[in-house]
Structure 1
Amino acid sequence: MTNNQAKKLYQTGIELMGYGKSQEAINYFREAVEANPSCMEANLELGYLVGATENYEEALKAFDNALKIQKTFPGLFGKGICHFFMEEYGKSLDAFMDAQEIGENEDLWYYLGSLHLIYTDNIEGAINCFDMAISINEKFIEAWNDCGVAYSILENDETALVHFKDALDIDPEFKPAIYNMGATLVDMERYEESLKYLDRTLESEPDNFKALFYKGNALYSMEKEEEAVEYFKKALKVDKDQEELWNYLGYIQSSIGQNHEAIESLNQAIKLNNDFEEAYINLGNVYLALGKDDLALDRFKRVLEIYPDNEEILREIEDLKGN
């Protein structure tokens, strides 16, 4: 094929994109690249389209081919996106930083912020990047929401709440912000308010582990222990490998007299983590409440095997031996 034929294939692909026929367009861009590997435009369009289908390996190859022809913002940005979704965060950051030397847009700032959150642990840097994205596009709902998450990590809950509300002003049905409102309100001990948002999350996502956990936590803090237990159980049906929650559940069960259920929950926590000091302590206390001092002593001794300097447990063991 000639270069002119490659251009015709590329143009046909563009026309098909205009009609929403993405898969057919992909095929034409592939043919255009095969006909003329130096057709930068076809490589770029191919990269973005196959990337949208989560075929990141092929997309990355297309962007690399485009960048061999010319170093452009779309090529570097596309490369950064591929590495981001392939969870190759270092390579993603490098590509985005190279792109930033050429140009910028709200998406670039957003992904840089995301990388600061999940890769570099630079929370202040993440906030700055999200703010830049919002300054370019004030309706960038994901940036509002994720900036709120960053403020939550910094325990600046009031500012986080403002950002989640701003996201919901853009779209009242934006699920991440609805959940984050609920979780943040729990952290702020505004439990009654939190339930409104957590319930909205659970209406559409009944198996949302975090929402179930936060609702259970809110109910427990409202001294509705039995309701809390039910929500923690629902959460554990979603993810049974949460040792901390098994321990928490066991502690609450013991506090309302469900000692036998508590034993099962605490043993499950220990099964997941044989060195779980707190679970052994809680289990020992349950056995004490049941008058099973020998079993309690055995669990407390196990605590000392894990942490020999636990003075409180040392005293507890001495008291039990004295009896």
Structure 2
Amino acid sequence: MMTEKRSIKEIMKAYSEVPDKDFRQKLKILNELSQTMFKEGNPLLASETVKAELSRIEAPACIELANITHNMIKYSCVVGNYDSSIEYALKAVVLFKEFGTADDVNDVIGNIGGVYVYMGRFEESLEYTDKALEYVRIKGDDLAVANFLNNKAVALKSLERFEEAVDCLIKAIEIKLSLGKKADLCNSYFNLSEVLISAERYDEVPAIFKKTEPLVKEIEDPAGSAEFDFLKAQYYMGTGNYAKALE
């Protein structure tokens, strides 16, 4: 039986009713509250709420603290507070090593690689992404391998190592095709198109668009459709077809 999701007001009321000494339950509800804020489009509010409450209740190390610290990596990154994002990530690694699993630690390592992309520190991004990639390969988690290959390609593109980026994306696409992950596959096609456009390999782009278009229509994701239109505009700009780009 599915539990109905609580509103922010309901979660805040529940949070206020838990005494500070019951810090594990307090952190659990705080995590629910911040995730709801984030999902409703308020990442700054989520970040500031957690930051204020963590400094107030001063909870000792536990798995609940590890979980909320992990989420703060994302909240901080989304609002552009990259240094804080890395700080939370390093804390999360320490906490998960004590209270979590190897999978938890690897997720954080992968997230660090993603944050370094936003910071423009692409070599460091590759270092962390390769660590995360090695772990999931050994574990045999094919979808995670595909996702980390995708992330690696983003850093490689930024370093203008286009051939390597294309190789990563082709491998990621092969895995996602075998798993039938259409939404994930669409994202890899977007990234591959972007790499080919950046590398000015325009003759290869239409074939990728042809594979992407039916997926975009099938998924019916407005954001995905908008991203696809933007990629087509970039392609037409690169090939000098400005009327089509404007369209």
Please, what TM-score do these two structures have when normalized by structure 1?
0.54
Moved more, 126-135 or 181-190: 126-135
| 1:184 positional shift | 0.5
Q: Are the counterparts in 1 of residues 150 and 168 from structure 2 also a CA contact under 8 Å?
A: yes
Q: Distance in 1 between matches of 2:237 and 2:41?
A: 42
Query: Does the Cα contact within 8 Å between 1:131 and 1:147 map onto a contact in 2?
Result: no
Deviations 1:3-35 (A, max 9, x none): xxxxxxxxxxxxxxxxxxxxxxxxxxxxxxxxx
- The 3-state SS of whatever aligns with 2:168 is helix
Q: Which amino acid in structure 1 is aligned with residue 159 of structure 2?
A: M
Larger radius of gyration: 1
| 2:71 is aligned with 1:146 | yes
Residue 131 (structure 1) shift: 5.1
The 2-side partners of 1:130 and 1:156 are apart by: 13
Per-residue Cα deviation, 1:164-201 (whole angstroms, up to 9, x for no partner): 01112234541332121110011111111112221222
Give the match for residue 137 of structure 1. 60
2:17 to 101, 122, 128: 101
Q: Amino acid of the residue matched to residue 230 of structure 1?
A: D
With normalisation by structure 2, the TM-score equals 0.69
Q: Give the whole-Å Cα distance in 2 for the aligned partners of 1:283 and 1:213.
A: 21
Q: Name 1:224's counterpart in structure 2.
A: 161
Aligned residue type for 1:202: L
**For the residues of structure 1 that align with 2:47 and 2:19, how far apart are their CA atoms?**
19
Greater mean deviation of Cα atoms: 203-212 or 149-158:
203-212
Matched-pair contact (CA < 8 Å) for 2:149–2:172: yes
2:127 corresponds to 1:202 = no
Q: Residue deviations 1:121-178, cap 9 Å, x none?
A: 2533444235535722344211222122211111010111111011122345413321
* Match for residue 175 of structure 1 among 96, 99, 106: 106
Query: Structure 1 residues 144, 244: CA separation in 2 closer, same or farther (over 3 Å shift)?
Result: closer
Partner of 1:68: none
For 1:221, the aligned partner's letter is S
Residue 285 of structure 1: how far off its partner (Å): 6.1
Judge conservation of contact 1:266–1:282 (CA < 8 Å) in 2. no
Aligned residues: 211
Listed as ranges, the gaps of 5+ residues in structure 1 are 1-55, 58-81, 290-295, 308-323
Query: Aligned pair in 2 of structure 1 residues 124, 137: CA closer, same or farther (>3 Å)?
Result: farther
Name the residue aligned to 2:42.
121
Measured after TM superposition, the shift of residue 284 of structure 1 is 4.2
Q: CA deviation at 1:96?
A: 5.4
1:252 matched to which residue of 2? 195
Shift of 1:93: 5.4
Unaligned 5+ residue runs, structure 2? 21-25, 138-142, 218-224
CA distance 1:95–1:201, change in 2 (3 Å): same
The counterpart of 1:278, out of the listed 230, 235, 238, is 230
1:265 to 2:181 alignment: no
Which of 67, 72, 85 is equivalent to 1:160? 85
Counting aligned pairs with the same residue, the percent is 18
Helix, strand or coil at the partner of 1:205: helix
Distance 1:98 1:247, change over 3 A: closer
